[in-house]
Amino acid sequence: MDNSIQQRLIEAARLAPSADNSQPWQYDWENDALNLWIDAQRSGGTSDARYILSDLAIGACIENIAIQAKSLGFNTQTDYLPDEQNIPLWAAKLSFSPSGPDDETLALAIPQRHTDRTFPWNGPISPATRQTICAATEQFPETNIMWLDGTPLYKTALKAMWKAESLRFKSQRLHQELFSSIRFDIGYKAACEEGLAPATLAIEPPLKPAFKALRHWGFMRTLNFLGVNHLIGFRSAVLPNLLSPGLCLLSLSKTDRPAIIKAGRALERIWLTANTQGLAVQPFAAAGVLSLGFSQLEQRHAHIPQKIASAMQKLDNNHYGLIFIRMGRAKQGIQPSSGRRKISSLRHIAPATE
């Protein structure tokens, strides 16, 4: 594996999705083996307790690498959390072996993948397309995907999402975590290497000044007495789904860290597969993450994740619901995508204790 191939693998890795575009990953090469690390400076927030969001992002990284490597004639073997007890930030070690070249369809989709927050979206999504998307998770037996639109469970799913998105504006910790990632300083036209560019949020023009004002917790707290957080939650989660043809839930059979990383791999493969089918994608992770009970919220809000967990259990008794995925055919074409940090900034420098 020469340097040019290694470079292409890292380029694919850096294009993976991450919560609020935090990009909590680092890498180093050990001869032909690739180590992936969680970046301590970009992980461990309120929603990332036990590295759940970082592990999902690392999983998406791994899947991009595996897809790109396969298109270049290499199989990928993954050792998850090689020394979890002593080095919890060492997320995976990847090794590669020669294979025949594979279909490049998914690899070609990697640079085009992005979160699309616009709506309404067109449909319907055909049964054949839905089956193709479900088949994307077959190599990850720990995961399960179920379509919720058109089923009796659809309203339950929307309620869980509504509660979770409303809580992001009701809890001061979650509010600060969210708005610290939004780069209002660059305006609504530019992209940024890290964090969320306002241009990617699909905020309606008349609402942009009001949304910017919400970053001040004192103002947001006052509005919450009027129930504004519930209105925002409805606008953020319920309305986009009501105006879109497809909603599915990615769930998993257990919640240990390797399972979460594999769920991240499954999510990325679902995402890329949907894109190759001409579908736009928006994931919603708040309900699933909060329902697992890892996040340390203010005590007065502790009952809300419990209610969300109860709703999530009704959706799938045999699995832990983790990520809702909205799909459809966007009218506006390709939307602005988030930037990425330079590859040179992703190198892992081992501290003396490792």
287 with 160: CB under 8 angstroms? yes
Residue-level pLDDT at 265: 98
- The domain ranges of the chain are 3-112, 121-330
pLDDT, mean over the chain: 95
- Tell me if domain 3-112 and domain 121-330 are identical in fold: yes
- 197-217 mean pLDDT: 95
Q: Is 235 helix (H, G, I), strand (E, B) or coil?
A: helix
Task: Please say if the pLDDT value at position 335 is more than 80.
Answer: no
Residue of 39, 76, 115 whose CA lies nearest to 349 = 39
Tokens of 66: 């595996």
Residue-level pLDDT at 103: 79
Residue-level pLDDT at 150: 96
Residue-level pLDDT at 32: 92
Extract the runs of DSSP E, i.e. beta strands, from 31-173. 33-38, 74-80, 90-98, 121-122, 143-147
On the CB side of 245, CA atoms within 13 Å amount to 15
123 with 329: CB under 8 angstroms? yes
Residue written as token pair 């999983």 = 59
Residue of 142, 148, 125, 67 whose CA lies nearest to 274 = 125
Q: What pLDDT band is residue 179 in, cutting at 50, 70 and 90? A: very high
Q: What pLDDT band is residue 352 in, cutting at 50, 70 and 90? A: low
Class of domain 121-330: alpha beta
Residue 236 has what DSSP assignment? I
The contacts of residue 287 (CB under 8 Å, 6+ apart) are 160, 161, 163, 164, 308, 311, 312, 321, 324
- 278-285 mean pLDDT: 97
| Distance of alpha carbon 121 from alpha carbon 125, whole angstroms | 11
Q: What pLDDT band is residue 331 in, cutting at 50, 70 and 90? A: confident
Of 101-115, 128-142, 161-175, 209-223, the least confident? 101-115
Q: What pLDDT band is residue 180 in, cutting at 50, 70 and 90? A: very high
Residue-level pLDDT at 317: 87
Residue-level pLDDT at 102: 78
| Percent share of the chain, pLDDT over 70 | 98
pLDDT tens for 183-194 read 999 999 889 999
| Distance of alpha carbon 195 from alpha carbon 182, whole angstroms | 6
Residue-level pLDDT at 336: 73
On the CB side of 212, CA atoms within 13 Å amount to 14
pLDDT tens for 26-61 read 999 999 999 999 999 999 999 999 999 999 999 999
User: Can you state the angle between helices 217-224 and 172-179, rounded to 10 degrees?
Assistant: 130
Q: What pLDDT band is residue 349 in, cutting at 50, 70 and 90? A: confident
Residue-level pLDDT at 333: 65
Whether domain 3-112 has CATH 3.40.109.10: yes
Tokens of 75: 């199989």
Give me the long-range contacts of 39-45 (CB less than 8 A, separation at least 24): 39/89, 40/89, 45/177
Q: What pLDDT band is residue 334 in, cutting at 50, 70 and 90? A: low
H or E stretch at 246: strand 246-252
